Amino acid sequence: LVISRIDGDDIACVGGGVATAAKARGAAAIIVDGPCTDVEEIIASGLPVWCRGVSAKTTNRTFRIGGSINVPVACGSTAVLPGFAVLADNSGVFVADRSLMRSLGEAALKRQERSARLRAHLAAGHSIFTYDEGHSQ
């Protein structure tokens, strides 16, 4: 579930209740372009949530501001279209057309492998300027 906030970016629209309900309805994760609340409850729900921070200010069901499902949104200054694949980890969130995500993921894994070899080279006390991918020491 990718949520784009168009206003009130200091108000949390995701908390323990929303996380619990989203998980019960089959959500794999929530990404919100704004803060969340009830961090402990979200963690306890087991549903991963990515947000811009935490706020004690929350939404109120009394004020119905609307919303839409399966429409293009902008989240974190990135266009997210219905059907896009989302890849998220502790370093951030990445979205792409589903048809591209596999090749992008494979390229990212190769880059991580190269980075691990480089880190071993650096951990051995060698300079980054002496690193040769094909002939690392």
- Whether residue 121 contacts residue 131, with contact meaning beta carbons closer than 8 Å, is answered with yes
Q: How far is CA 59 from CA 37, 109, 118, 119, 135, in A?
A: 10, 39, 47, 45, 57
Quote the pLDDT of residue 134: 67
List, for residues 83-112, the tens digit of each pLDDT value: 999 989 888 898 999 999 999 989 989 999
CB 19 within 8 A of CB 45: yes
Which residues make Cβ contacts (< 8 Å) with residue 69, sequence separation at least 6?
none
* pLDDT surpasses 90 at 77: no
Which pLDDT score is estimated for 69? 85
Structure tokens at 28: 């794999």
Average pLDDT over residues 51-62: 86
Read off the pLDDT of residues 19-49 as tens digits, 9 standing for 90 and up.
999 999 999 999 999 999 999 999 999 999 9
pLDDT of residue 5: 79
